[in-house]
Amino acid sequence: MDTWTYIGNQIMAARQERGWSTEELARRLRTSGATMSRWQSAKQRIAFDDLEQLAKVLGKPVQFFLPGWYVDPEAVAPEIAHLTNRLSEIPAGEFRQRVADVLQRQVEILLELIPDWYVDPSAISPEIGHLIQRLNQIPTGETRDKLIENITGQVEILLQSFVEKK
């Protein structure tokens, strides 16, 4: 989907969320229904000034209409929202960009350190959590791999016998 189609779809979605017709939104923007229809169908590109006004009328941030720029605040973890708020206190410019770049690199490094099989500890039963902690005490290598393979095999056998008893 190209940018203009995306913007048109977002205009339509925000308009429908308000329960307004195309003509109602056009009236509120002091433009024609035909212009509004062309914006929504991506047959006419919207000027940024018009997009800013549209965002105001629809009660949305301008970023809502731009692909890849909008993140729903409800979907952001409180820690990330706090970090974003703190970063926004730094005036826009080269220094803020450098800070953001450093933070992004640190997050990338941390994510690389988390194994693909990582599971949130709060989602694991205490017994399994204890077993994982004990396994993590064994240095990575052939012995640990064999132990995990053995435990996995035993769990599979137990699960199979449990299913067969049902």
Mean pLDDT over the full length of the chain: 83
Per-residue pLDDT, averaged over 152-162, amounts to: 78
What pLDDT does residue 97 have? 86
Backbone dihedral region for residue 115 (phi beyond 0: left; psi -120 to 50: alpha; all else: beta): beta
For residue 44, name the pLDDT band (cuts at 50, 70, 90): very high
For residue 72, name the pLDDT band (cuts at 50, 70, 90): low
What pLDDT does residue 120 have? 66
CB contact set of 18 (below 8 Å; sequence gap of 6+): 25, 58, 59
The two structure tokens encoding residue 79: 């820690």
pLDDT digits (tens, 9 = 90+) for 87-111: 878 888 888 888 888 888 887 777 7
CB contact set of 103 (below 8 Å; sequence gap of 6+): 83, 87
* Block residue for tokens 């205490």: 126
Secondary-structure class of domain 3-65 per CATH: mainly alpha
Handedness of CA 10, 19, 58, 75 (dihedral sign): negative
| Helix intervals (H) in the chain | 3-18, 22-29, 33-40, 48-58, 78-88, 94-113, 126-136, 142-165
What pLDDT does residue 119 have? 63
Side chain identity at residue 117, one-letter code: W
Per-residue pLDDT, averaged over 16-28, amounts to: 95
Query: pTM value?
Result: 0.47
**Whether the Cβ atoms of residue 38 and residue 48 lie closer than 8 Å to each other:** no
For residue 50, name the pLDDT band (cuts at 50, 70, 90): very high
Percent of the chain as helix, strand, coil, to the nearest 5: 70, 0, 30
Per-residue pLDDT, averaged over 10-38, amounts to: 95
**Domain boundaries of the chain, sorted by first residue:** 3-65, 73-113, 121-165
Higher pLDDT, 21 or 124: 21
